Chain A
Amino acid sequence: MKSKVVKLCLRSVMFLVAISLLSGTFACLQAEEINWGKELKNWEGRELRIIMIADPWVDAFAVINPEFEKLTGARVTVDAYPYDGTHEKQIMVGAGRSTDYDVIVLDCPWVGEFAEVGYVEDLTPYMKASNPEVVAWDDYLEAYKTVATWKGEITGMPFGAYHVLFHYRKDLFGEAGFTPPKTLEEWKKIAAYFTNNPKYPGLYGTALNYFRGAPIGQAWFEYIWNVGGKPFESNYPGSPDPYADMTPKINSPEGREVVQLFIDMVKYGPPGVTSYAWDERATAFAMGKIATVSCWSARTPLFVDPARSEITDKFATAVVPPKKGVKSVPPLGGWVMGINKFGVQKDLAWDYIKWFTSIPIHKKFMKAKPVGGPPSRYSAMLDPELNKMFPWYKSIYESAKLTYEDCRPRIPESFEIIDTIGLYTSKAVGGELTAEKAMEEAEKKIKSVLATGGYYIRE
């Protein structure tokens, strides 16, 4: 007990020291007013078009962009679509050599795909020609820098890094005497306790991503690391080349364990949980229907918005729990801003990107109403003011230290691989196939996709 208290105190002191050191390092950057008049050109009469995901923070762009419009004279238009639609339209922009969009906002698993086919610019020359204090590349976590880079080329500037955080109802946990679960086994017990408990009518334990396609496919990748598995032979944290040997390990005991986890957790979810995706889960948690939810940090601000949440001051966050005996690997995701290779306003696009991702504007992005963006820079993540406003930043920082940048493959075939795993996991959850058969079928399909792509696969 005593050693636990000492450990806790030490961790808190270390966290505070880290905050003061790192925030001190970048304090000068934040305090210094960037002379935007010098950094940005006059783009009077031009229109900059951005294509991106309609995630919760999309409205923050409308709040911040007028400042850029005032500085440069350019008009900024944002076209936002749902997840699959964003990918589809962005590929069509590239395939059609379209000049319709200047800035293309990419999810990290798509980075390899867009870089390989040459639909986005390498940002390295742009960065080199810019003021390093504006770009502040070293202010990003190593993992974010890796996520934005493909074969030595920088495909986009990170601005919306996501971490999967464990969200729980601190009021209910306090009442029931629970602490945030340290293992998946503990989480299951807690979820079971809150489900159909007469003390908590209408409350359920949790809700996983079950909707077919990317939602459940991505969720499979969120858990594979946390049960001690890996999707491909050389794809694991610390691997020198995550894509060197792409022999699938989908149909492994761990892969099947993830599927079984999805099947087991259905009974702790609200009716119809098998049709839930990201939004439905966030809504269920915000409406007080579920006691816990493991979801992307980009949705956390929704839970403190009184207009959308009934649990504004009743929840807290923690690092996602792994299987007992396995080190937690909190999934990393998020968005980077790239320049359309075929665009005709590349300098304007770069001006916008460097402005939007700069330290002071990034901080404004976090604070924007109604829902701000997630922190992607050390300076934002460790900023005392932001930490006070958004208490979950501490969990983000803790997660960021444990994360793995290639936790979802970033190769051109990623979308198809994730969808395929999603399809077969969904089949197993629906009872069409057993967990074993589902992973066997998924592995067979994925092997064929990888073979077409020319990857090294051991027989």
Chain B
Amino acid sequence: MSKNARVIKYVFVLPAIIYLILLTIYPLIYSLKISVTTLNIARPYPPQYIGLSNFVELLKDSIFLTAMKNTFFLTVLSICAEFILGFIIARFFFMGANLKLKGVGLLRTIYMLPMMVTPLVFGLIWLYIFNPTLGVANYLLSLLGFPPISWFGSTNIALYSIVLINVWEWTPFMMLLCLAGLSTIPPELFEVARIDGAGWHQSIAFIELPLVRRVILIGLMIRIMDNFRLFDLVYVTTGGGPGSSTETLSMFTYRQSFMFFNVGYGAAASIIILILGIILAQILIKSVWGKEEYA
């Protein structure tokens, strides 16, 4: 390769490198830098270097630990529900398309609508639906003879209410991925399975799930990241309460960084979230993809 060609190669890559440095690497280094200080932008005293104290404090902070527990719970529950429901619905759409039923395309488009709404907006909509005295949810329950539920006001229910809304919004996404995966399976495989006498459950277990697992993995990874930074919905509906029953890692970081302006402490929390996210993603990739394939 001539010298000119090598230079041109770097020139073409340069914008991407600049972008990466400015928007990813620099903020990350800056976050690392302030995470070891007492920086608070709403206090008159200058920041001091305190080493890893913020990280040590965080691991002893009961609210942070609760936020971590809530985030894991919310992530696991939401993703499981989204995947199961998404796969079932995708299968219906898949079958409908194979049978060339009319209106399947339109129904699929309508089904995607929740995903297209801003979380803040649907958070507000659900806030009205779940309003304990004026909301539709309790009205419907009363028609069935059930007592009203304090959807966001009870420590036992609030987190499940958030999971419910989360699942409502993101099931279409999992459905879409599953449907895309199912569409790539050669029809001959189903034909052969049918001839061999395989039932629908065997078809799912031995043909569909193994062949769509990579697509599912991508979906799961995206949703794990999403749930780790889930903020808008919690902020609008419960503010992390009642008590700390719906406090998530993002909510905790926001509270520290933008309500109390303990920016150093907040930065340390966000670094821990980042590390946890990376670890989880790695575990997921290795367990689903397999070591050899991954390598």
Give the total of A residues in contact with B, Cβ under 8 Å: 41
Question: Does A113 belong to the interface (CB within 8 Å)?
Answer: yes
Please give me the residue from chain A that is nearest to B158 by CB atom. Answer: A275
Contacts of B153 in A (CB 8 A): 210, 272-276
**Are the CB atoms of A212 and B240 closer together than 8 Å?**
yes
Q: Contact flags (1/0) for B41-84 with A, using CB distance below 8 Å?
A: 11111000000000000000011000000000000000000000
Task: Give A412 to B62 CA distance when docked, in angstroms.
Answer: 24
A423 within 8 A of B: yes
Whether A412 lies near B42 (C-beta < 8 A) is: yes
Interface presence of A427 (CB below 8 A)? yes
A118 to B255, CA, bound (A): 23
The stretch of B18-26, B89-97, B131-139, B162-170 in contact with A is: B131-139
Choose the segment among B5-13, B174-182, B187-195, B256-264 that binds chain A (4+ C-beta atoms closer than 8 Å): B256-264
Given A272-B153, A275-B132, A423-B63; 7 other pairs, CB 8 A cutoff: A212-B239, A270-B133, A271-B149, A273-B150, A275-B241, A416-B260, A426-B242
- Assuming the A-B contacts A270-B133, A415-B260, are A423 and B138 also in contact, with contact meaning beta carbons closer than 8 angstroms in the complex? no
Say if the beta carbon of B250 comes within 8 Å of chain A.
Answer: no
Instruction: Digitize A416-459: 1 where CB-to-B-CB distance is under 8 Å, 0 elsewhere.
Output: 10010001001111111100000001000000000011100000
Chain A CB within 10 A, most for which of B63, B239, B262: B239
Residue B238 interfacial (CB < 8 Å): yes
- For the A-B complex, the count of residue pairs with Cβ-Cβ distances under 8 Å equals 108
Partner of A430, one of B239, B243, B259: B243
Binds B, one of A87-95, A156-164, A357-365: A87-95
9 of the cross-chain contacts (CB-CB < 8 Å) are A118-B44, A271-B147, A272-B131, A287-B134, A412-B42, A427-B243, A429-B242, A430-B245, A431-B155
Q: B165 → chain A, closest Cβ, in Å?
A: 14
Interface residue from A271, A430, A454 paired with B242 (Cβ < 8 Å): A430
* Chain B residues positioned under 8 Å from A412 (CB to CB): 42-44
Cα separation A453 to B155 with both chains bound (whole Å): 33
| Docked pose: A272 CA to B255 CA in angstroms | 24
The residue among B131, B132, B134, B153 with the most chain A CB atoms within 10 A of its own CB is B153
What separation, in Å, do the CA atoms of A274 and B151 have in the docked complex?
10
Main secondary structure of the interface of A (DSSP, over half): helix
Contact A91 B42 (CB under 8 A): yes
> Which residues of B are interface residues toward A (Cβ below 8 A)?
38, 41-45, 62-63, 131-134, 138, 147-155, 238-245, 255, 258-262
Interface string of A52-93 (1 = CB under 8 A from B): 000000000000000000000000000000001001100100
For the complex, what is the distance from the CA of A95 to the CA of B258, rounded to whole Å? 12
Contacts of B133 in A (CB 8 A): 270-272, 284, 289
Residue contact B44 to A430, C-beta cutoff 8 Å: no
Cα–Cα distance between A441 and B61 once the two chains are bound (Å): 11
Pairwise interchain contact B41-A423, C-beta atoms closer than 8 A: no
Taken residue by residue from 108 to 137, chain A's Cβ proximity to chain B (1 for < 8 Å, 0 otherwise) reads as 000001001110000000000000000000
What CA separation (Å) do A212 and B131 show in the bound complex? Answer: 16
| Cβ–Cβ contact A426 & B44, under 8 A | no
Q: Is A231's CB within 8 Å of the partner chain B?
A: no
How far is it, in angstroms, between the C-alpha of A212 and the C-alpha of B241 when the chains are bound? 5
Given known pairs A212-B241, A432-B243, the reply for A453 and B43 (CB within 8 Å) is yes
Beta-carbon nearest neighbor of B257 in chain A: A88
Instruction: Check if B240 sits within 8 Å of A117, measured CB to CB.
Output: no
Q: Complex Cα distance A430/B152, Å?
A: 11
Shortest CB–CB separation between residue A411 and chain B, in angstroms? 11
Contact B243 A272 (CB under 8 A): no
Q: Closest A-chain residue to B44, C-beta based?
A: A116
Cα–Cα, bound, A290→B42 (Å)? 39
Residues of B within 8 A of A117 (CB): 42-44
Query: Which chain B positions have C-beta within 8 A of A430?
Result: 154-155, 241-243, 245
How long is the Cα–Cα vector from A284 to B133 in the complex, in angstroms? 9
Q: Contact partner of A210 among B38, B151, B242, CB < 8 A?
A: B242
Contact indicator per residue, chain A 189-220, by CB within 8 Å of chain B (1) or not (0): 00000000000000000000011110000000
Closest A residue by C-beta to B43: A412
Docked-complex contact A272 and B244, CB < 8 angstroms: no
* CB interface residues, A 263-278, toward B, < 8 Å: 270-276
A452 x B38 contact (CB < 8 A): yes
Given contacts A426-B242, A432-B155, contact A419 B41 (CB under 8 A): no
User: Nearest 4 pairs between A and B by C-beta?
Assistant: A272-B132, A212-B241, A275-B153, A274-B153
Q: Are B148 and A213 in contact (CB under 8 A)?
A: no
Contact A212 B138 (CB under 8 A): no
Contact partner of B238 among A87, A271, A275, A423, CB < 8 A? A275
A91 neighbours in B (Cβ, 8 Å): 41-42, 261
A426–B152 Cα distance when bound, in Å, is 13
Shortest B243–chain A CB gap in Å is: 4
Question: How far, in Å, is A211 (CB) from chain B's closest CB?
Answer: 6
Interfacial chain A residues near B238, Cβ < 8 Å: 212, 275
- Give the docked Cα–Cα distance between A91 and B40 (Å): 11
Tell me the complex Cα distance, A284–B153, Å.
16
- The complex places the Cα of A272 from the Cα of B261 at a distance, in Å, of 31
Contact between chains at A95 and B259 (CB < 8 Å): no
Q: Is the CB of A84 within 8 A of B259?
A: yes
CA distance A117 to B43 in the complex (A): 6
Interface centre among A213, A430, A454 (most CB of B within 10 A): A430
What B residues does A427 contact at CB under 8 A? 242-244
Please encode chain A, from 139 to 157, with 1 for each CB lying within 8 Å of some chain B CB and 0 for all others: 0000000000000000000
> Which residues of the other chain, A, contact B38 by a CB distance below 8 angstroms?
452
* Bound-state Cα–Cα, A271 to B149, Å: 7
CB distance from A230 to the nearest CB of B (A): 23
Question: A197 to nearest B CB, angstroms?
Answer: 17
CB distance from A89 to the nearest CB of B (A): 9
Cross-interface CB contact of A271 among B41, B138, B155, B241, cutoff 8 Å:
B138
CB distance from A410 to the nearest CB of B (A): 14
Question: In the assembly, what is the distance between CA of A68 and CA of B158, in Å?
Answer: 47
Q: Which residues of A contact B43 (CB under 8 A)?
A: 116-117, 412, 453
How far, in Å, is B58 (CB) from chain A's closest CB? 14
Residue of A nearest to B38 (CB): A452
Interface centre among A210, A423, A454 (most CB of B within 10 A): A423
A272→B260 contact, CB < 8 A: no
In the bound complex, residues from chain B placing their C-beta under 8 Å from that of A453 are 43
CB–CB A213/B132 < 8 A:
no
**A271:B148 contact, CB within 8 angstroms:** yes
Query: How far apart sit A274 and B245, CA to CA, in the bound complex (Å)?
Result: 13
Q: Given A271-B148, A274-B154, A452-B38, check contact A88 B259 (CB 8 Å).
A: yes
CB distance from A95 to the nearest CB of B (A): 4
